[in-house]
Structure formats: structure tokens, C-alpha cells
Amino acid sequence: MDQYLPPDKIMILILSFLAFLTIIIVAIQWRRVREAENNVKLLEKEIELKKIALVEKDIEAKKLMESAITLPKDQQEKLAKIRKDTSKLMKQIRYLQNEIEVRLSRLEAQTEFKKLQEMLKKIKNKESELERRLKKF
């Protein structure tokens, strides 16, 4: 014997199923939102801890600078020489970087100029070819 459900009960069954699915989807999304909020809060706390660590390191560095021990003259001279050599090297590095940039710019300009010359030559050739064809007619 076949069991037959009237259309109104089928509609109620379908609506109940859709309502159940909707509730599940809303619950899952709510959970995801809560997890995201917790992740944001956790990241904010980590950032605060990193900031605190940086401030502590800065304070320690300042304390070391304030309580710096005066070095003997020969060590001070060595440090001054190292600083001077470093400064010279940095100037040379900046010069070389600038020279490279200028040379690259010149190379790019030359390349572009060469391309444009070749393009102009091709255009002139095509124009002359077109003129020859037109004269034949």
C-alpha cells in the first residue's frame, strides 16, 4: 500500500527542511564571525606585546648609551677610522648606484630611439611601396 502525502504536508516538510538548513548555515557563519573576532583580538594583543618589547629594547639601548664607558684613545681612534672608512664606502656606493641609474636610463633611451628609427624606416618603406602600387594603377 502506497503512502501518499498531501501537497500541503509536502510543502510544510520542504519549508521545515529549508528552515533547518538556514539555521545550520546561520550557526556556522556566526561561529566563523566569532573566530575571526577572536583572531583579530589575538593579533592586537601580539602587536601590543611586540610594541612593548621594542620599547623595552629602546630603553635598554638608551641606558647603555648613557652609561657608556669611555674608551681608551687608541680604541676611539680605531672606531673613528672605521666610521670614516664606512662613510667613504657609503659615498662610493651612492655614486655607483646613481651612475648605474643614469646609464640604465641612457640605455633605455637609446633602445627606444633605435626602435623608433626602425619603426620609422618600416613606415617609410611601406609608404613608398604603397605609392609604387598606386602609380601602377
* 79-109 residues labelled b (16+ CB within 10 A) or e (exposed): eeeeeeeeeeeeeeeeeeeeeeeeeeeeeee
Enclosing domain of residue 6: 1-68
> Could you read off the pLDDT tens digit of each residue along the chain, which spans 137 residues?
457 778 888 999 999 999 999 999 999 999 999 999 999 999 999 999 999 999 999 898 888 777 667 778 898 899 899 999 999 999 999 999 999 999 999 999 999 999 999 999 999 999 999 999 888 87
87 shares its domain with 130: yes
- In the chain, the N- to C-terminal Cα span, in Å, equals 93
31 shares its domain with 87: no
Confirm whether pTM is higher than 0.85.
Answer: no
24 shares its domain with 80: no
Q: Which of 19, 47, 68 is the last residue of a domain?
A: 68
28 shares its domain with 40: yes
